[in-house]
Amino acid sequence: MALLCKISLCLHFLHLILWFSGLGTGISANALMRHKIPTTIVEIDPAVYNAARNWFGLADPGVGRVFLEDARSWVADKLANIKAGKDEILYDIVIHDCFSGGGVPRHIFTIEFWDDLATLMAPGSVLVVVSCPSTSLEKSN
């Protein structure tokens, strides 16, 4: 936690940050918001988001900054908007921290997904992928 706070203090100049999936208890997202870093949350499971808000003190990131849906479809929707000429927010930092029952969802660890995600990132932006070497990819259906 202390390390994250030091990092977020260094990043306070950033325009936007995207907390991308894998909200968990929301501790990291709260640290970013506490340092006035606008944070967008994409979380597939409403129960995870509600638990983070109700039991772990996750702050409200504000209107239009919480998306309770699958990350792949969220990115695809944003990409479609960009291709249609609509303005979309480009993110300075994307934190991809997604686990599911001991594995990671395969559909958001593909070359196609990373390419689509890159379209939503500002020039010079950073992608942070939190991964566990012993974690296996879930079988896709």
Nearest to 100 by CA among 58, 135, 66: 135
CA separation for the pair 59, 138 (Å, rounded): 31
pTM (2 decimals)?
0.78
Q: What are the residues facing 91 on neighbouring strands?
A: 121
User: Average pLDDT, whole number, for the chain?
Assistant: 79
Least confident of 2-16, 50-64, 69-83: 2-16
- Percent over 90 (pLDDT), the chain: 33
Question: Does residue 29 carry a pLDDT above 70?
Answer: yes
What's the chain's length in residues?
Answer: 141
Question: Does residue 12 carry a pLDDT above 70?
Answer: no
Q: How confident is the model at residue 11 (pLDDT cuts 50, 70, 90)?
A: very low
Nearest to 68 by CA among 80, 50, 94: 50
CA separation for the pair 28, 23 (Å, rounded): 8
